Structure 1
Amino acid sequence: MKTVGIIGGSGFIGSYTTRKFLAEGFNVKVSVTNIKKSEKYQHLFNLENSDNLNIRPLKVENLSDLKDFISDCEIVIHGGTPFQLDVKDPQKELFDPTIRGTENFLAALTETSFIKKVVIIASVAAFNTNFPMPAYGKSAADTFNEKDKKHINTESHPYAQAKFMANQTVEKFIKENPNLSFEITSVSPVGVMGKSLSKREDSTSTGLQFLIKNKIAPNPFIQMLYDTNAEFALVDVGDVAEAIFKAATTSGLHGKNYLLSSESYAISDMNLMLNHQTSKNKAKIIYENALAMKDLNMTFKPMHQTLNNYSQ
Structure 2
Amino acid sequence: MKKAGIIGGSGFIGSYITKQFLDHGFQVKVSTTDITRKDKYEHLMVFNHSENLYISELDVTDKNALKDFVSDCDVVIHSGTPFILDFEDPKTQLFDPTIKGTENFLEVINNTPSIEKVVFVASVAAYNTNFPFPAGTKSFTDTFNETDVKFTSNESHPYAQAKFLANQAVENFIKKNSDLHFEISSVSPVMVIGKALSIREDSTSGNIQFLIKNNMAPNDFMKAIFDNDVPFAMVNVEDVAIATYKTANKKGLHGKNYLLSSETYKASDIHAMLNHKAPKENPIVIYQNNLAKHDLGMQFKPVKEALNSYSN
C-alpha distance in 2, partners of 1:295/1:285? Answer: 19
Q: Determine the structure 2 residue equivalent to 1:159.
A: 159
Q: Matched residue of 1:265: which SS?
A: strand
Percent identity between matched residues is: 60
Q: Note the alpha carbon deviations across 1:4-28, whole angstroms, 9 max, x for none.
A: 0000000000000000100001000
Q: Matched residue of 1:76: which SS?
A: strand
C-alpha distance in 2, partners of 1:63/1:214? Answer: 42
Q: Determine the structure 2 residue equivalent to 1:224.
A: 224
C-alpha distance in 1, partners of 2:38/2:306? Answer: 28
C-alpha distance in 2, partners of 1:86/1:46? Answer: 32
C-alpha distance in 1, partners of 2:97/2:218? Answer: 24
Q: Determine the structure 1 residue equivalent to 2:294.
A: 294
TM-score, reference length from structure 2? 0.99
C-alpha distance in 1, partners of 2:218/2:126? Answer: 25
The one-letter code matched in structure 2 to 1:87 is: F
The one-letter code matched in structure 1 to 2:247 is: A
Q: Determine the structure 2 residue equivalent to 1:250.
A: 250
Q: Determine the structure 2 residue equivalent to 1:125.
A: 125
Q: Note the alpha carbon deviations across 1:38-91, whole angstroms, 9 max, x for none.
A: 111000001111000000000000001101100100000001000010011000
Q: Matched residue of 2:173: which SS?
A: helix
Q: Please tell me whether the aligned partners of residues 239 and 300 of structure 1 are also in contact (alpha carbons under 8 angstroms).
A: yes
Q: Determine the structure 1 residue equivalent to 2:195.
A: 195
Q: Determine the structure 2 residue equivalent to 1:105.
A: 105
Q: Determine the structure 1 residue equivalent to 2:62.
A: 62
C-alpha distance in 1, partners of 2:201/2:285? Answer: 31
Alignment of 1:260-299 (within 5 A): 260-299=260-299
Q: Matched residue of 1:186: which SS?
A: strand
Q: Matched residue of 1:309: which SS?
A: helix
C-alpha distance in 2, partners of 1:82/1:202? Answer: 12
Q: Note the alpha carbon deviations across 1:225-280, whole angstroms, 9 max, x for none.
A: 00110010000000000000000000000000000000100000000000111101
Shift, 1:178, TM fit: 0.5
Q: Matched residue of 1:167: which SS?
A: helix
C-alpha distance in 2, partners of 1:302/1:142? Answer: 20
Shift, 1:311, TM fit: 2.5
Shift, 1:110, TM fit: 1.2
C-alpha distance in 2, partners of 1:59/1:268? Answer: 39
C-alpha distance in 2, partners of 1:281/1:78? Answer: 36
Shift, 1:177, TM fit: 0.3
- Gaps in structure 2 of 5+ consecutive residues: none
Shift, 1:120, TM fit: 0.3
Q: Determine the structure 1 residue equivalent to 2:77.
A: 77
- Gaps in structure 1 of 5+ consecutive residues: none
Q: Matched residue of 1:298: which SS?
A: coil
Q: Matched residue of 1:211: which SS?
A: helix
C-alpha distance in 1, partners of 2:83/2:41? Answer: 17
C-alpha distance in 2, partners of 1:305/1:121? Answer: 22
Q: Determine the structure 1 residue equivalent to 2:144.
A: 144
Q: Please tell me whether the aligned partners of residues 277 and 308 of structure 1 are also in contact (alpha carbons under 8 angstroms).
A: no
C-alpha distance in 2, partners of 1:125/1:41? Answer: 27
Over 4 Å off, 4+ runs: none
Q: Matched residue of 2:45: which SS?
A: helix
Shift, 1:309, TM fit: 2.3
Q: Determine the structure 2 residue equivalent to 1:3.
A: 3
Q: Matched residue of 1:258: which SS?
A: strand
The one-letter code matched in structure 1 to 2:261 is: S
C-alpha distance in 1, partners of 2:303/2:201? Answer: 23
C-alpha distance in 1, partners of 2:307/2:10? Answer: 22
C-alpha distance in 1, partners of 2:240/2:60? Answer: 22
Q: Determine the structure 2 residue equivalent to 1:115.
A: 115
C-alpha distance in 2, partners of 1:137/1:148? Answer: 12
Q: Determine the structure 2 residue equivalent to 1:185.
A: 185
Shift, 1:307, TM fit: 1.0
- How many residue pairs were aligned? 312
Shift, 1:308, TM fit: 2.0
Q: Matched residue of 2:119: which SS?
A: strand
C-alpha distance in 1, partners of 2:105/2:224? Answer: 35
C-alpha distance in 2, partners of 1:294/1:84? Answer: 32
RMSD value, Cα:
0.6
